[in-house]
Amino acid sequence: MKTIKCDIVVVGAGPGGSMAAKFCAAGGLDTVLLEKKAEIGAPLRCAEGVSKKWLAEVGIEPDPVWIRGDMKGAIIKSPKGTAFQLDESKAGSEVGYVLERHLFDKALAKDAAEAGAKIMMRTSATGVIRGADGKIIGVKAKQMGEEIEILAKAVVAADGYESQVGRWAGIDTTLKLSDIDSCIQYRMCNLDVAPDFCEFVIGSVAPGGYVWIFPKGDGVANVGIGVMGSLCKKGADAKYYLDKFIAEDPRFAKAQCLEIMGGFVSTCPGLDCAVDDNIILVGDAARVIDPITGGGICHACRTGMYAGKVLVECAKKNDFSKEALMPYEKMWRDRMEDKLFRNWMAKERLATLDDDVIDDLIGMISGSDIKEVNVYNILKVVKEKYPQVVEGFEDLI
Amino acid sequence: MKVDENKCLHCGGCVGSCPKNAIFLNDFVLEFNDDCIRCGICARLCPVDALSME
Ligand SMILES: Cc1cc2nc3c(=O)[nH]c(=O)nc-3n(C[C@H](O)[C@H](O)[C@H](O)COP(=O)(O)OP(=O)(O)OC[C@H]3O[C@@H](n4cnc5c(N)ncnc54)[C@H](O)[C@@H]3O)c2cc1C
Ligand code: SF4
Ligand code: SF4
């Protein structure tokens, strides 16, 4: 059997894996990045919306190559049609980009390669390898059908929602049913939607989630839905709700579908612990994703960067034990844990509200002077009139 | 579990949701191993209703 030896093996070349590989390689570590698919960033499993601020934090320079659109604003709607629109007229508005994920993910992988990481495509990790003392010493993989072994001092599990590497390593990444949103998205053309506004529709149209319309230019948009399976009507799946929404909205009368994709997001506040001896979990694999928005690109990039930095430090003492990796836990928790927890609580409450209350809430938000659409600002407004919605986590708002 | 290949989007959602880690997605093929306890969670969550009990 072919055996490869390296310092760090990273499983999954999504944003989390590529960032981890880049920082490991840049720190002088011999780094191998495995990707099971035939193309990085494709097939798409994303609505491609991001805010802008975090890019600088993780050292990513905005590049027109992967920016499809610079948004002017956002619209939040209730099923009854009440809408809150945030646009440039509100001074200081912070809106976001719509990306070309397939190009964004490749750009990050290219950065990793330029830093010295070795990318192995169509190489699927199938298990972890343990040494005589039970410690993880690498991963088993299949490279275009051939079984190989990659031996490393530490493994970075960046395998996304599937999060199997962590489980093979004994870290429980299983989600509660109520912490899972099933998604489906159509890339549609012939649409009559605003070209530079991201739209979100919440309420009964998408139980426990929302419908999104993120424009890609020229009458094309990502039109998708996330639903909490446990709240769906019997026999109804995500596709049922999305098709119903599209059928009832006249803007889609002439719409045609160019691409269909599925994908899931976790809506929990992150794993209890995302490290163990010789292994670190990052991004979706660590369940670090915003429980309300399902936005996870920034979280994957941050956790990937933290993992890379910590592994470089560990290498200096050649200690990759759980204890030595704990600074990673501290870094991601200090940066994101409060917000993840707050949004997880808010998600649980929002899922219980009926359309009348949602309608009223969106009316209230419209009447407020919010300058940036984010969960924090919206919850602040909600807290004023519906304190019960935020009861138990008011301190985090 | 039985996969309806005409419907499956190969999204990997069932893989990440299975409490027994009993599913593996390799390219465009879903494989189930013997750890499956037939809990039905994967079938319930599939966005396109592509899974059913055999
Ligand atoms: C429908 C949908 C819409 C979304 N919309 C947005 C959005 O608008 N904005 C946003 O910020 N986030 C969004 N997200 C979330 C976002 O896509 C993820 O949070 C992000 O991709 C996480 O990055 P990652 O690197 O952790 O994992 P991923 O991007 O999922 O990458 C994991 C990689 O690992 C590979 N892999 C898996 N298993 C193995 C294995 N065994 N061996 C080798 N390789 C393996 C996969 O092929 C994949 O390339 C959305 C998610 C979904 C499902
Ligand atoms: S959740 Fe459904 S569509 Fe997605 S991979 Fe599993 S069977 Fe296929
Ligand atoms: S039925 Fe349950 S145990 Fe079996 S594959 Fe589906 S989710 Fe996993």
Q: What is the pLDDT of residues A35-72, one digit of tens each?
A: 999 999 999 999 999 999 899 999 999 999 999 999 99
A224 is in which domain, residue-wise?
69-98+177-266
C-alpha angle B33-B35-B40 in degrees, rounded to nearest 5:
95
Number of domains composing chain A: 3
Q: Pick A89 or A361 by higher pLDDT.
A: A361
Q: Which residues of A touch B48 (CB under 8 A)?
A: 184, 237-239, 262
Number of domains composing chain B: 1
From CA A264, how far away is CA A272, in angstroms rounded? 20
Chain B contact for A143 (CB, 8 A cutoff):
no
C-alpha angle A376-A94-A103 in degrees, rounded to nearest 5:
105
Q: Does A331 lie in the same domain as A290?
A: yes
Q: Does A189 lie in the same domain as A262?
A: yes
Q: Does A214 lie in the same domain as A288?
A: no
Q: Does A157 lie in the same domain as A25?
A: yes
Of the residues A243, A266, A289, the one at which a domain ends: A266
Q: Does A258 lie in the same domain as A189?
A: yes
Instruction: Check: CB of residue A140 under 8 Å from CB of residue A126.
Output: yes
Q: How confident is the model at residue A128 (pLDDT cuts 50, 70, 90)?
A: very high
Ligand found nearest the CA of B32: 3
Sheet containing strand A279-281, strands side by side: A118-120, A31-34, A8-11, A154-157, A279-281, A275-276
Tell me the HSE value of A340 on the side-chain side, using a 13 A CA sphere. Answer: 24
Residues in chain B: 54
B36 is in which domain, residue-wise?
2-52
A243, part of any domain: yes
Shortest Cα–Cα distance, B14 to chain A (Å) = 8
Q: Does A131 lie in the same domain as A21?
A: yes
Q: How far is CA A143 from the centre of its chain?
A: 27
Q: Which of A43, A168, A229 sits opposite B45 (nearest CB)?
A: A229
Q: Mean pLDDT over all residues of chain A? A: 94
The predicted structure's pLDDT at residue A88: 67
Percent of chain A past pLDDT 70, that is, above it, reads 98
Q: Alpha-carbon dihedral of residues A59, A281, B30, A296, nearest 10 degrees?
A: -40
Q: Does A369 lie in the same domain as A251?
A: no
- Asked whether the ipTM of the predicted complex exceeds the cut of 0.95, the reply is yes
Exposure of A87 by Cβ count < 10 A (0-12 exposed, 13-18 middle, 19+ buried)?
middle
A227, part of any domain: yes
Instruction: Check: CB of residue A164 under 8 Å from CB of residue A174.
Output: no
Q: Per-residue pLDDT tens for B20-39?
A: 999 999 878 999 999 999 99
What's the CATH number where B43 sits?
3.30.70.20
Q: Does A259 lie in the same domain as A213?
A: yes
Q: What residues contact residue A129 under an 8 Å CB cut-off, 6+ apart? A: A136, A137, A138, A139, A140, A149, A151
Ligand found nearest the CA of B6: 2
The predicted structure's pLDDT at residue A5: 98
pTM greater than 0.95: yes
Q: Which residues of A59-81 are buried (b: 16+ CB within 10 A; e: fewer)?
A: ebeeeeebbbbebbbbbbbbbee
Of the residues A292, A319, A337, the one at which a domain ends: A337
Nearest residue of B to residue A286 by CA position?
B16
Q: What residues contact residue A327 under an 8 Å CB cut-off, 6+ apart? A: A310, A313
Q: Does A258 lie in the same domain as A368?
A: no
Ligand 1 pocket test, candidate residues A9, A32, A46, most atoms within 8 A of CB? A46
Q: Does A300 lie in the same domain as A198?
A: no
A110, part of any domain: yes
A83, part of any domain: yes
The predicted structure's pLDDT at residue A93: 55
A53, part of any domain: no
For the cut 50, the answer to whether the pLDDT of residue A91 exceeds it is: no
Ligand 3 closest atom vs CA B40: 1
Q: Does A141 lie in the same domain as A39?
A: yes
Residues in chain A: 397
Of the residues A239, A266, A293, the one at which a domain ends: A266
Ligand 1 closest atom vs CA A263: 53
Q: Does A183 lie in the same domain as A38?
A: no
Q: Which of B13, B41, B49 sits opposite A263 (nearest CB)?
A: B13
Q: Per-residue pLDDT tens for A315-354?
A: 999 999 999 999 999 999 999 999 999 999 999 988 889 9
